[in-house]
Amino acid sequence: MDYYKASFFYEPLLSTKHFVSQELQTPVGQSDYFVHRDPAIFPNPDTFDPDRWIRAGKENVNLKSFLVAFSKGSRQCIGINLAYAVLYLTVATLIRRYDMELYNATEDELRTARNFLLPRPEKGHATVNVVVKDILTT
């Protein structure tokens, strides 16, 4: 099978020496999935441990600089605060009103292993099915 060249207008140029230029800049990026799963930043990254944020605060470690789900800097999502507000209210409402458990799935099946645009489980679907055991009253 023949492969086409990435660019047929120009041949690639190879440099024979290292140089630093202020004029030429290459934007560098990385997947937030791999930042959030780095054991050097978050020990035991696959363990659900919300207390790690509390422990980090007591030890004067700023983990917020590693929370990059909405990107960082000048290209950060402008709806970050609205998204957080909606997430907090939705999760709080679900937890307050319903007693739920996983349906037809285990925690191992839900562990993310692939990252295309969004993290995906190794097998199965990227959805979580739950059974509402009880509707709680407040």
Flag whether 77 is marked binding: yes
Distance (Å, rounded) from C-alpha 11 to C-alpha 30? 27
Please name which of 107, 111, 130 lies closest in space to residue 120, comparing C-alpha atoms: 111
Q: 101 φ, ψ to 5°?
A: -145, 160
Q: Read out DSSP for 94-111?
A: HHHHEEEEE-S--HHHHS
Q: Token match 């055991």: residue? A: 133
Q: Token match 């791999």: residue? A: 34
- Residue 131: DSSP 8-state: E
Please state the residue numbers annotated as binding site for heme: 77
Please state the residue numbers annotated as binding site: 77
